[in-house]
Structure 1
Amino acid sequence: MNTGTIILAAGSSSRLGRPKQLLDFNGKTLLSHVIDEVQEAGIQPIIVVLGANASVFKQEIKDTKVVILENEAWKTGMASAIQVGVSEITKQYDVENLIIAVCDQPHISSAIFTSLINKKNSTGKGIIASTYQNIIGTPVLFDKKYFDALKALTGEEGAKKIVKHYTADVETVAFENGEIDIDTETDYLNLQHKISK
């Protein structure tokens, strides 16, 4: 069952004050880390959607085997980045499923991506979401029957809107420490502190 991945990396990291995509985590940037983990899981194609600071990020990932897209409407919210990624992946590739991932979850691993695909294969559910701290979140896998719904999202709407709407078709996998993301300088300092322990 062919599965592609869209990595959302278009935001401006306004609360952090600098691009979170380039923050160092265990010797890699967060953006490089998530790309490496998707590749480790053997998933292709990988679409990276950039927006703010796109030229800088292109340089960072120029040697990776990913398709780089620019979302010129990134200021309008997350939905536009999802639309750009889903439109490209459905136009250029024959995929049965796609996984939407973000680049500010430092504890993301290839095992999580593999678990999403395995759960889809074993349950036949159309949406497989990650769960942490009783929250359903990213990364999340969508069957192709939801691609049009993803493309119809607007503004600040994220994929979670679809997950909440089709709860009967949702299965989950546990993502330990998935709730840890980087939105502020304090988040990043806390992460570094945990690593150094």
Structure 2
Amino acid sequence: MTSSLVAVVLAAGGSTRLGRPKQLLTRDGETLVHRAARLALASGASRVLVIVGAYAGDVVAAVRDLPVECVVNARWSEGLAGSVRVAMDALAPHDHATLLMTCDQPALDVAYIQALGDASRRAPSGSAATRFGDRVGVPAVVAPTMLRAALAVQGDRGLRDALNAPGADVIACDAPDLGVDIDTPEDLAAAVARGWLDPLE
């Protein structure tokens, strides 16, 4: 990936359905937020922002050893779109591709992030995203025009509408394992069973 790429790790959520902060679950002893930030750095991003909100103090502490910038979304409870807007404000006047990722997809690896970057450079729109059924979502590498289109989105939809709009020309990349994200206790149990999360103590 080019050094102009920046990465945004969306880690502000309250994990209400899970009942515990998903950001602080661990894989091989490493918290998920630390792992996501580390993967973003390893992908070649020149700048990595971690958007925090709920459990902000603990999440910031979890990535303190990494060269990342933590940005607080004080209105985190309003959903993912607000975190995207906070990130764009912090990045202004950034005008290059942006990697958007969450910290609750424990199967994510550097090779897939790099594949997304390669696909985005082939896409007419400059954007590539992960296929989930007949839709696409994050992780995604998104062109500046796509991000600007998403700034008006409200609630938890994030970039979903912009990425899936007719004529968006986003390349869809396949990574079936990323469909396992950690929203509920059942998701957590499934990830533990696959070896993607450490068992809870």
**Normalised TM-score (structure 2):** 0.89
How much has 1:169 moved relative to structure 2? Answer: 1.7
How much has 1:40 moved relative to structure 2? Answer: 1.4
How much has 1:88 moved relative to structure 2? Answer: 1.0
SS state of the match for residue 89, structure 2? helix
In the other structure, the counterpart of 2:99 is: 99
Given that residues 150 and 161 in structure 2 are in contact (C-alpha distance below 8 angstroms), is that contact kept between their aligned partners in structure 1? Answer: no
Amino acid of the residue matched to residue 180 of structure 2?
I
Q: Which of 41, 58, 70 pairs up with 1:68? A: 70
Number of residue pairs matched by the alignment = 194
SS state of the match for residue 162, structure 2? helix
Given that residues 8 and 50 in structure 2 are in contact (C-alpha distance below 8 angstroms), is that contact kept between their aligned partners in structure 1? Answer: yes
Amino acid of the residue matched to residue 191 of structure 2?
L
Given that residues 14 and 21 in structure 2 are in contact (C-alpha distance below 8 angstroms), is that contact kept between their aligned partners in structure 1? Answer: yes
Q: Which of 25, 32, 35 pairs up with 1:33? A: 35
Given that residues 150 and 159 in structure 1 are in contact (C-alpha distance below 8 angstroms), is that contact kept between their aligned partners in structure 2? Answer: yes
Instruction: Kindly report which structure 2 residues correspond to 1:29-178, keeping only aligned pairs within 5 A, or say none.
Output: 29-91=31-93, 94-178=94-178
SS state of the match for residue 186, structure 2? helix
Q: How far apart in 1 are the matches of 2:77 and 2:67?
A: 27
Is 1:191–2:197 an aligned residue pair?
Answer: no
Percent of aligned positions that are identical: 26
In the other structure, the counterpart of 1:16 is: 18
In the other structure, the counterpart of 1:182 is: 182
SS state of the match for residue 169, structure 1? coil
Q: How far apart in 2 are the matches of 1:88 and 1:157?
A: 20
Amino acid of the residue matched to residue 129 of structure 2?
A
Q: How far apart in 2 are the matches of 1:3 and 1:95?
A: 9
Q: How far apart in 2 are the matches of 1:166 and 1:99?
A: 22
How much has 1:124 moved relative to structure 2? Answer: 4.0
CA-based RMSD of the aligned residues comes to 1.7
**Normalised TM-score (structure 1):** 0.91
Q: How far apart in 2 are the matches of 1:166 and 1:142?
A: 16
How much has 1:168 moved relative to structure 2? Answer: 3.9
SS state of the match for residue 156, structure 1? helix
How much has 1:133 moved relative to structure 2? Answer: 4.6
Q: Could you give the per-residue CA deviations for residues 117-145 of structure 1, whole angstroms, max 9, x where no partner exists? A: 11122334332111245542210111112
Is 1:5–2:4 an aligned residue pair?
Answer: no
Amino acid of the residue matched to residue 106 of structure 1?
P
